[in-house]
Amino acid sequence: MKWNWGKSIALMIALFMVIWGGLLIFAFNQKVELVTPNYYEQELKYQQEIDRQKNTMHLQTEPSFSYENKALHISFPIKEVGNSISGSVIFYRPSDSGKDRTYKIAIDTSGLQHIPTTGLLPGLWKVKVNWQDGKQQFSSLYSMQVE
C-alpha cells in the first residue's frame, strides 16, 4: 500500500472529527447546575436582595462571621437592631447543590449563633444569611473552607 498526500489529509480529517466527537460527547455528559432550581424566578426578585444588602451596609456594625473548632459563629448586632432577629442561614455548596443546607436563626442573649459544621463535606462553602429585625430585612454573605 502506497502512502500519499490524499490519504494523509483524509486521516487527519477523520482524526479531527473523532476528537471533536469525543469532546462533544464529554461536554454533553457534564452536570450543569444553577445556584438554585428556580434561578430565573430568583433573578426577577433580585432587587429585594439588593435592598437587603444596602440595609446591612447602613448598619453601624454588620454581622461578623468566624469559622473555628468545626463550627460557624455568627455575631449579630443586637445593640443596634434588638433581640428579635429571625431568618435563615443557607449553606451553598458551589460544586454540588444537592448538599446545600438551611438552618433557622436562633441567637442567644448575646446575639451569637453557633452552627456545627461536622456534617458538611470538606471544601468551599458559601454562607448566605437572610435576617430581619421586625422592621427591616438584611442579607450577609460569607465564604469558608471546611476542613
Q: What is the pTM for the complete model shown?
A: 0.72
Give the helix/strand (H/E) hosting 142: strand 137-146
pLDDT at 35: 64
Q: What is the DSSP string of 48-63?
A: HHHHHHHHHHTSSS--
Q: Exposed/middle/buried for 144, CB within 10 Å: 0-12, 13-18, 19+? A: middle
Q: What are the start-end ranges of the H helices in the chain?
A: 5-28, 39-44, 46-57, 78-81
pLDDT at 96: 82
- pLDDT tens, N- to C-terminus, the chain (147 residues): 788 999 999 999 999 999 999 999 999 998 777 666 777 777 778 888 899 999 999 999 899 999 998 999 999 988 877 778 999 999 998 888 788 899 999 998 888 999 999 889 999 999 999 999 888 999 999 999 998
pLDDT at 102: 94
For residue 143, the SS3 value is strand
